[in-house]
Every structure is written in structure tokens, then in C-alpha cells.
A and B are shown apart, each in its own frame.
Chain A
Amino acid sequence: MTEQLLWQLCDQQVRFFGTLVGPRGEEASDGRFVEELVKIVPALSRLMSSLGKVQDVISKAALKGRIEKIQETGEGIDGVLVAAAGFLEVVQTRCREAIAAGYSIESVPEIERMVAECRALRETWIRSWPFVDPEMLERSGIEFSSGQYQSAKDALHELRNLHH
């Protein structure tokens, strides 16, 4: 799933960056960018739809015990979301430059929405996935060294009885 998304993202990036380069390798005109943008927006929209589904699919697989490497998987999905957000921000910047040069771009609101959605997807992912927390590990290490610990059995019995 992650690989498929990465492939889609790379494909869109290649297509997009192709729109930034003119026939002789110089930077494409704003006019050409605007023309090409119309073609890639539907593909970007499909990519966003896939990114929206991936969290759900991966989370469900994890909850059924089908994800063996939890940290690695979480980082993989995060990497795709970071790359997608970075890419969409480049598209957004290029749109703003074209608008400043006097062009009208109908899909700007859609691109702005995709940028915001991608950032929100990442925030949700970071918040919900059970990532390793190095700060907590360090704090716990200090606590153990200073005797602030107890038997897990006793602690769990205590917590269980809180609800009785």
C-alpha cells in the first residue's frame, strides 16, 4: 500500500515538474504551467483520495495483527504524507506566482484544500499511530534508576480495581 502511494506520488511529481520546464530545458512560462495544471489536478485529487484511505486501511490491518513492524509502518506512512504535503505546497506556490503574473486559475481553491487536507491527515496520523516516544523512554529510564517503579502485576491489579 505504501509503495503504491509512493509510486503515485512520484508519478505526479514527475508529471508536475515536467510542466515547469520548457522545451529547451528553461523554466516553463506561467502560461504553460497553467495549461498543464488543468491536466494534473484530477490526478492530484485521486492521490488525495488514496492518502485519505490509507490511514484507515493500515489501522484496520494493525488492529487485526497484520502489521508486524509497527514503528516502521508508521514512519513509512508519515514519510508519504510529508512528501505529498511538500509536493502540494510547491504546486500551491507555483499557482500563486502565476496568479501574481495575471493568470486566472480555477483550481486554486481545490489545491488549497488539498494542502490543508494533507497537513490534517498527517496530524491525525501522528496523533493516532502508536509511535515510539523517545522522551517518554528517557523519562521512564530516569524513573527506573531512581526507584520509581513497581511490579506490573501489582500496578495492573490496582488499575483494574479502580473501575470496580
Chain B
Amino acid sequence: MSFEIFITESVKDKIRGWRLSPYLIFRIEERLYGELADHPSRRLQRLPKPADILQFSFCVEGKEEPPLDYLFVFDVAYTVDEERLVIRDCDYLSG
């Protein structure tokens, strides 16, 4: 069973503000649906503080010249019925 994944408007606005290349957005989608949606319990790490949240993180190499490395971090929660996932925040590091 593959989980549905949702993002809130604030998260979408945040990603829009990053102005990532289409390639990087594609890679994000690929990781969310190729890994997280299929096996959330294996890929999520529980953080007890500063908020009780689950975290999904992964690294991607960009296609710039010279290429940059990216670390994306998604803060995720299950819906009450535990059948869907909601991305409640995200952030990234690059260099």
C-alpha cells in the first residue's frame, strides 16, 4: 500500500520561495513517492523534541556547474486515520 502525501499551503509557499530547479523538484518528488510513500515507517525518524514530529531526509546532487550537494529535510505527520501523510514543514541545506 502506498500512502497519499499532502502538503500544506505554507509548505508549498516555502518550497516555491526556494526557487529550485525543475530537476531538484523532480528529485524531491521521486524521493517522496519512491521511498516515503511506500515505506514510511522505515524511512521516518521520530523526533521527540522540540516537537513530536517525524522526519524524512535525503541528499541530492544538483546539476549546476560545479554541482552543489543538497540535504532536504521534511517534517511529516500521519493523519488521524494513519492512512495519509502530511508534510508540515521542510528545509534544506546546500553547499
Contact = CB atoms under 8 A, between A and B. Distances in A.
Interface of A: 59-60, 62-65, 68-71, 128-134, 136-137, 139-141, 143-144, 148-153, 155-157, 159-164
Interface string B30-43: 00110000000000
B91 interface: yes
A146 B16 CA distance: 21
Interface residues of B, number: 45
Nearest to B14: A136
Contacts of A134: 50-51
A88 to B, nearest CB: 26
Interface in B23-64: 25-26, 28-29, 32-33, 45, 47, 50-51, 53, 55, 57-59
Tell me if A's interface is mostly helix, strand, loop or mixed: helix
A152 B9 contact: no
B9 A132 contact: no
A137 B88 contact: yes
Contacts of B77: 141
Nearest to B7: A152
B7 A149 contact: yes
Contacts of B7: 149-150, 152, 155
B4 interface: yes
B57 A70 contact: yes
B70 A156 contact: no
Contacts of B88: 136-137, 140-141, 144
9 contacts: A59-B95, A128-B93, A132-B50, A132-B51, A144-B8, A150-B12, A152-B5, A156-B28, A159-B25
A149 B86 contact: yes
Contacts of A153: 5, 29, 33
Nearest to A63: B69
Contact of B47 (A71, A139, A155, A156): A71
Nearest to A67: B71
Contacts of B51: 132, 134, 137
A65 B4 CA distance: 26
B73 A130 contact: yes
Contact of B71 (A63, A132, A148): A63
Given A137-B53, A155-B12, A160 B6 contact: no
